[in-house]
Amino acid sequence: MKNQLSRLYFRSVALVISFFIPSLFLFFLFSPPLHAQNDWQRAVGDLAGKVTNHLKPGSRIYVHTIRDASNMGTYYPFMATIRDSLANEIRKGGIDIQSTPTRAEYYLMVTFLERPDSLFLNGSLLDAKDGSTVVASGAIEIPVKKLPPYWKKRSLHDVAYELTGKLEEKLFAQRASIVLGEFSGGKEKRDAYVSEFSTTMKGYIKEEMIKSGVFVILSPSKEHRGGGDAATLTGHFIVTADDVIFRLVLLKGKRNRREIANVSAQFKKDTVPQGMPMFPGNINIVSQNTDHNNDKESFDTGVSLRAWINKESGIYRNNDKLVVYLRPEEDCYARVYYIQSDGAIIQTFPSSDYDPGFLKKFRTYGVGGKKDDVELLITDETVGQEFIKVFASRYPIDDSSIPREFIRGPNVYRVRGKYRGLQESLARGLKVSRRRLRPVAEVKLLVK
């Protein structure tokens, strides 16, 4: 019995050794050397010594956020890790790191520059008395192979943070009242597809703007109550083979808008979470119902009218109530059409043949609201990008030639035919020679 137990014991030890030794070999084979993992921290320590070795213990330093020295202005979260490591190395020399710049004697400004095979860091120690006198400087270069593999990793939240910071710099930290406009994009400059990606970016950028304390986000209704001085922020993305370029444009004015700020960020396509669509599923239908201002065969009447909807995100789900708000800057006659993701066209205003669709200037109207006899309820029978098109004229619109049928319950009309035919019929109703009438206002939304 004792011999059997001994054989079992040695067999167990042999099994453990046979499993442990190959595993240990694989660990040492694929794990980077410990000294390599700390090489970048040693380099950061060298930079700390170069800029602070002449200071007395107890000196007070504020370390600013590390910024991109190139014209790209890229933000990487890993730079916050480098900043913390730099502060810790400086602290080892008996120097006090301040949490705010107001109590500091010196400011440490550090920039980074991406090179093909390395990361270049340049530090300048400034006298806090004037904020410009350089009292010490230093630079280091860290080979990319000595940086953690995740050093360039970032999320859409990080991209939104970068864009908001760039916009803040453009405005010189002045508080700005902003209305969020359309966020859309595609593969070309003229594409304006609304998708889960564009609406997600819109939400992230709004969050960052609120946190910054520089921007005041207004709804369109509050904008008008405040005198209409708010700027409109629009977002547009372009998808290339490997990258995404996202641009924010800040516009001022109502009809003839002028650009007051323009910023952009470029990032890899794999930054977008897997499974998040960058384009709407009904992209072919959307393309058929899109208006382009450079289309020589179409025109608009020049009426100044603002349109918006009751959900700022622009995302609607089954059984959500839709309200379309209209506010004209002059007396006019209007027609409002809802184009579903399958191309079907619904006239939502006016809801009666006896109603000419007259709107009085500077008044806000809610189509589908509590005081309206139209009920607009979103269903999931159609999903994807959908449109609200608002046509307006200073003169009555004769739309009697447009084939349509009345739908009881929601009190709307279903228009027969396609969008291009509707435009041509409206142009004929205004007795103009040009071929197609273009809407004076448009809102895109996403049904999920």
For the whole prediction, is pTM greater than 0.75?
yes
- Write the pLDDT tens digit of every residue in 68-95: 999 999 999 999 999 999 999 999 999 9
pLDDT band at 255 (very low <50, low <70, confident <90, very high): low
Nearest Cα to Cα of residue 82 among 124, 139, 44, 35 = 44
Nearest Cα to Cα of residue 393 among 359, 417, 343, 421 = 359
Q: What was the pLDDT predicted at 2?
A: 45
pLDDT band at 175 (very low <50, low <70, confident <90, very high): confident
The alpha-carbon radius of gyration of the chain (Å, integer) is: 30
Q: Are strands 441-447 and 315-316 parallel, antiparallel or unpaired?
A: parallel
| Spatial distance between the Cα atoms of 66 and 68, rounded to a whole number of angstroms | 7
Question: Three-state SS for 89?
Answer: helix
- Write the pLDDT tens digit of every residue in 362-390: 999 999 988 888 999 999 898 999 999 99
Asked if the peptide bond before residue 403 counts as cis, ω within 30 degrees of 0, the response is: no
Q: What was the pLDDT predicted at 10?
A: 44
- Write the pLDDT tens digit of every residue in 376-434: 999 989 899 999 999 999 999 999 999 999 998 899 999 999 999 999 999 998 887 66
Q: Count Cβ atoms below 10 Å from residue 66 Cβ, excluding itself.
A: 22
Q: Kindly state the average pLDDT of the residues 108-113.
A: 98
For 252, list phi and psi in degrees, rounded to 5.
Answer: -120, 145
The CATH code belonging to domain 37-146 is 3.40.50.10610
Interacting residues of 131 by C-beta distance below 8 A, sequence separation 6+:
107
Architecture per CATH, domain 156-271, reads as: 3-Layer(aba) Sandwich (3.40)
